Amino acid sequence: MKKTIIIEGMSCEHCEMHTKKELEKIDDIISAEADADQGQAVVEMEKEVADAKLKAAVEEAGYEYIKTV
């Protein structure tokens, strides 16, 4: 199961890595890939993860969570 998160504020590979690491700390997230150019991250989940948790991880990484689509 996948979700795409729209994120503002990432500008380079380091930003992508910060976001990826924070998202992958969440239980039930198998992997996360962030793309600064597209301003989004895609998470692969073992089971449904609440959007609030995704938001918290993005903010912890230092970027602005816009929405989950």
**Residue ranges binding Cu ion (CB under 5 A):** 11-12, 14-15
CB of 17 to Cu ion, least distance (A): 8
Q: Are 24 and 16 in contact (CB under 8 A)?
A: no
**Which residue in 2, 56, 3, 63 sits closest to 26, CA to CA?**
56
Q: For Cu ion, which is the closer residue by CB, 49 or 65?
A: 65
CB of 36 to Cu ion, least distance (A): 7
Do you know the residue count of the chain? 69
Q: For Cu ion, which is the closer residue by CB, 28 or 38?
A: 38
